């Protein structure tokens, strides 16, 4: 049994040390590396090995035998990479094994499984700044175009996240191919009951935050919007896939690779990576590069060392790959944070990263600082662009974010763009953003629930802010009755009086409205005083043994339009005992009542319906009927068989 609470206690101890250390600007990959116990540089008993493609399996095994190693993992996203476990026999440790393998003609390269650390600083005063970052990044302007969609999945590769947080719980990804709690790997991906993602640090299916770092990152990306509580993320709606590979102080490269592999296998196109290492990892580089195959945008924090990463790189942000966006941090006055890394070649742009208010573990809110907080602003921006137009390539998304970065004098020469994230400008530069959206089509208006019309339409736009629904009683005068969010394809018009109605729907954005959809007409014929009837009574009797039998009655309830009525309570009485029995109808309008045990001397028994209760509907006994002709419509005699 693992002890996460103890891990959090250690984190509080490390943060106490960190407050002192940050005053002298640490030169490590993260200030959280400074601790009383030494941080490992790499896993002590495993390493990555890449064999040459043409190497026979016998030669590969011979190389592994030399180091007393065994392949424990292969990667579909990096086919030439294996993870090898050492048995520590013969005094062969990781450096010795690496030296042996690099002299073996069967091996491309061998590399340690490096340690990686989160890239954040200490928590500031609660609610300091009140989300200035969203305004600085011009996010409200972007929301005029789009606020996100429930089918946009973003992978938070981090320490985990508080998936029960009130501002996150509705935006947590749920694995559609896995059945919770059945102990089976339903989707066949090698992980059992991975409902919200996976924990590659503790190796289980519970990626709850080991600190609060991942929860803070997740909130910046996708804290639920327009819900009346707390904060809001870059997207109001999305799905956060929680992928934990770090504990309170860090994790290994192999865990980061497992997390990315998981996300790519599920088709996730955006990930946030607020962590780093000084060590170049060829397997990780290969995997990120191969993630381009599904159009994956890999957003990475540039690091908090206050150094030029063109000269002293920090990975993965410094990998020279065109699906990576490396993010530095700014203050609210658009000057670089003092500890943010810089690099005219290795840092792409800057984003708000000082005193950023977001969600924290345990259901709270607080501010944190660092490039860890800047990176999710950009990851959220990438996801917002992709959710607005999923057909974009990763090059197009990255290009939009870099081209639209707002030039800032204080950032000149510190990044590729010398600018600050501007999501509104990115949307303005999207193809078609200055045009009204395409018209919806195939509008249908079926009647449901007697006084409700359930509208449904096809969405052909990728740049709408929402849809406006219009209703008319004469198809001349149209009334706007509701505006619904972008990517919505339905609306229920309720509490309608009897009569004829016509509907149209238009898409809209900041550039204007689309042409109207087709007209869908409907007639509400059912009066408010709805009558219901027993449509049929069927009875059957069965022997339980030589002396006892039971009677069963099936009741069907329908309305005056001969439609089944669900959730109706049927009450009646058995003739032999005077006992009152009830049942509740299902979707088919049917339910069943079984009598108590009856003695054989009772040749038959009858059941009479006395009442039916279904919301405001009225039961009308005189209009009962019996299609089968085996009852009088109100009662039935049941005989033993």
Listed residue (619, 586, 617) closest to 451, CA to CA? 617
**Phi/psi-derived region of residue 183, left when phi > 0, alpha when psi is between -120 and 50, beta in every other case:** left
CB atoms within 10 A of CB 368: 23
The answer to whether residue 20 is domain-embedded is: no
Express each pLDDT in 67-87 by its tens digit: 999 999 999 999 999 999 999
Confidence of residue 125 (pLDDT cuts 50, 70, 90): very low
Cα(435)–Cα(487) distance, integer angstroms:
17
* Judgement on whether residues 291 and 205 belong to the same structural domain of the protein: yes
- Poorest-pLDDT segment among 186-195, 280-289, 533-542: 533-542
* Judgement on whether residues 271 and 394 belong to the same structural domain of the protein: yes
* Judgement on whether residues 628 and 575 belong to the same structural domain of the protein: yes
CATH of the domain at 50: 3.30.70.80
* Judgement on whether residues 393 and 448 belong to the same structural domain of the protein: no
* Judgement on whether residues 49 and 169 belong to the same structural domain of the protein: no
Average pLDDT over every residue of 406-418: 95
Domain-terminating residue out of 118, 147, 162: 118
Domain-terminating residue out of 499, 524, 549: 524
* Judgement on whether residues 247 and 342 belong to the same structural domain of the protein: yes
User: Which one-letter DSSP state was computed for residue 564?
Assistant: B
Active site residue 213: yes
Cβ pair 569, 609 in contact under 8 A: no
* Judgement on whether residues 103 and 160 belong to the same structural domain of the protein: no
User: Is residue 1's pLDDT more than 70?
Assistant: no
Name the range with the highest mean pLDDT among 35-49, 253-267, 539-553.
253-267
Q: From the candidates 145, 165, 213, 558, which is the catalytic residue?
A: 213
The answer to whether residue 299 is domain-embedded is: yes
Q: How many domains does the chain have?
A: 4
The answer to whether residue 233 is domain-embedded is: yes
Q: What is the pLDDT of residue 375?
A: 97
CATH of the domain at 339: 3.40.50.200
Comparing 315 with 11, the larger pLDDT belongs to 315
Determine the structural domain holding residue 468 and report its residue range: 441-524
The answer to whether residue 77 is domain-embedded is: yes
Who's near 269: CB < 8 A, 6+ residues apart?
153, 294, 295, 296, 297, 386, 394
User: Phi first, then psi: what are they for 43, rounded to 5°?
Assistant: -65, 135
* Judgement on whether residues 276 and 408 belong to the same structural domain of the protein: yes
Q: From the candidates 113, 158, 428, 559, which is the catalytic residue?
A: 158
Listed residue (149, 83, 91) closest to 112, CA to CA? 83
Q: From the candidates 372, 387, 631, 635, which is the catalytic residue?
A: 372
Average pLDDT over every residue of 498-511: 88
Kindly give the pairing relationship between strand 297-301 and strand 270-273.
Answer: parallel
Mean pLDDT of the chain: 86
Average pLDDT over every residue of 41-51: 94
Cβ pair 420, 496 in contact under 8 A: no
Active site residue 322: no
The answer to whether residue 377 is domain-embedded is: yes
The answer to whether residue 34 is domain-embedded is: no
Express each pLDDT in 198-215 by its tens digit: 999 999 999 999 999 999
Express each pLDDT in 263-278 by its tens digit: 999 999 999 999 999 9
- Poorest-pLDDT segment among 235-239, 458-462, 508-512: 508-512
**Count of all residues that appear for the chain in the document:** 641
206: preceding bond cis by omega (within 30 degrees): no
Active site residue 372: yes
* Judgement on whether residues 486 and 630 belong to the same structural domain of the protein: no
The answer to whether residue 100 is domain-embedded is: yes
The answer to whether residue 11 is domain-embedded is: no
Listed residue (292, 486, 302) closest to 397, CA to CA? 292
Q: What is the pLDDT of residue 499?
A: 85
In Å, the largest CA–CA distance within the chain is 101
* Judgement on whether residues 470 and 324 belong to the same structural domain of the protein: no
CATH of the domain at 500: 2.60.40.10
Q: What is the pLDDT of residue 616?
A: 62
* Judgement on whether residues 174 and 315 belong to the same structural domain of the protein: yes
CATH of the domain at 575: 2.60.40
Q: What is the pLDDT of residue 19?
A: 26
The model's pTM is 0.66
**Phi/psi-derived region of residue 164, left when phi > 0, alpha when psi is between -120 and 50, beta in every other case:** alpha
* Judgement on whether residues 518 and 536 belong to the same structural domain of the protein: no
List the beta bridge partners of residue 61.
Answer: none
Domain-terminating residue out of 118, 153, 168: 118
């Amino acid at each position: 049994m693992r002890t996460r609470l103890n891990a959090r206690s250690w984190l509080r101890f490390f943060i106490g040390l960190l407050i002192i250390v940050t005053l002298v600007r640490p030169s490590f990959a993260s200030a959280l590396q400074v601790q009383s116990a030494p941080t490992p540089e790499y896993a002590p008993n495993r390493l990555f090995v890449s064999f040459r493609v043409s190497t026979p399996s016998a030669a590969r095994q011979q190389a592994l035998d030399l180091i007393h190693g065994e392949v424990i993992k292969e990667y579909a996203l990096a086919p030439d990479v294996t993870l090898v476990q050492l048995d520590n026999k013969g005094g062969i440790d990781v450096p010795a094994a690496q030296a042996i393998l690099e002299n073996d003609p069967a091996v491309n390269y061998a590399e340690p499984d490096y340690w990686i650390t989160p890239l954040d600083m200490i928590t500031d005063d609660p609610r300091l700044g009140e989300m200035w970052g969203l305004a600085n990044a011009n996010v409200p302007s972007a929301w005029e175009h789009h606020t996100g969609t429930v089918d946009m999945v973003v992978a938070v590769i981090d320490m985990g996240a508080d998936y029960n947080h009130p501002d996150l719980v509705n935006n947590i990804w749920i694995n559609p191919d896995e059945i919770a709690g059945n102990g089976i790997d339903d989707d066949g991906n090698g992980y059992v009951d991975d409902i919200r993602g996976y924990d590659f640090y503790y190796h289980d299916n519970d990626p709850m935050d080991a600190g609060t770092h991942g929860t803070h990152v997740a909130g910046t990306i996708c804290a639920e919007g327009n819900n009346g509580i707390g904060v809001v993320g870059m997207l109001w709606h999305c799905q956060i896939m929680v992928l934990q590979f770090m504990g309170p102080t860090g994790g290994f490269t192999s865990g980061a690779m497992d997390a990315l592999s998981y996300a790519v296998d599920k088709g996730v196109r955006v990930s946030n990576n607020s962590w780093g290492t000084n060590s170049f990892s060829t397997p990780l580089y290969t995997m990120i590069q191969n993630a381009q195959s599904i159009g994956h945008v890999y957003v990475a924090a540039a690091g908090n060392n206050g150094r030029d990463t063109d000269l002293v790189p920090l990975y993965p942000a410094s990998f020279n790959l065109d699906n990576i966006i490396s993010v530095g941090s700014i203050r609210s006055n658009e000057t670089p944070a003092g500890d943010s890394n810089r690099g005219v070649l290795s840092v792409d742009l800057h984003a708000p990263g000082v005193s950023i208010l977001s969600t924290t573990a345990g259901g709270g809110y607080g501010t944190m600082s660092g490039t860890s907080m800047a990176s999710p602003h950009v990851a959220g921006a990438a996801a917002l662009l992709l959710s607005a137009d999923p057909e974009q390539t990763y090059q197009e998304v990255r290009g939009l974010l870099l081209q639209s970065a707002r030039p800032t004098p204080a950032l000149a020469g510190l990044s590729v763009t010398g600018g600050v994230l501007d999501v509104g400008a990115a949307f303005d530069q999207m193809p078609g953003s200055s045009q009204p959206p395409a018209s919806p089509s195939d509008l249908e208006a079926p009647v449901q629930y007697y006084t409700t019309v359930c509208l449904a339409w096809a969405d052909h736009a990728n740049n709408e802010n929402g849809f406006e629904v219009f209703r008319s009683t004469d198809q001349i005068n149209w009334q706007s009755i509701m505006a619904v969010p972008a990517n919505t394809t339905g609306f229920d018009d309720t509490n309608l009086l009897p009569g004829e109605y016509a509907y149209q729907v238009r898409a809209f954005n900041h550039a204007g409205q689309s042409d109207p959809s087709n007209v869908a007409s409907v007639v509400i014929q059912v009066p408010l005083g709805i009558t219901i009837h027993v449509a049929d009574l069927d009875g059957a009797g069965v022997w339980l043994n030589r002396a006892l039998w039971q009677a069963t009655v099936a009741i069907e309830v329908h309305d005056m339009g001969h439609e089944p009525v669900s959730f109706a309570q049927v009450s009646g009485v058995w003739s032999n005992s005077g006992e009152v029995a009830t049942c509740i109808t299902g979707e088919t309008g049917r339910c069943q009542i079984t009598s108590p045990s009856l003695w054989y001397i009772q040749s038959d028994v009858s059941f009479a319906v006395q009442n039916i209760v279904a919301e405001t509907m009225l039961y009308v006994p005189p209009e009962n009927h019996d299609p089968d002709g085996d009852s009088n419509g109100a009662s039935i005699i049941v005989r033993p068989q």
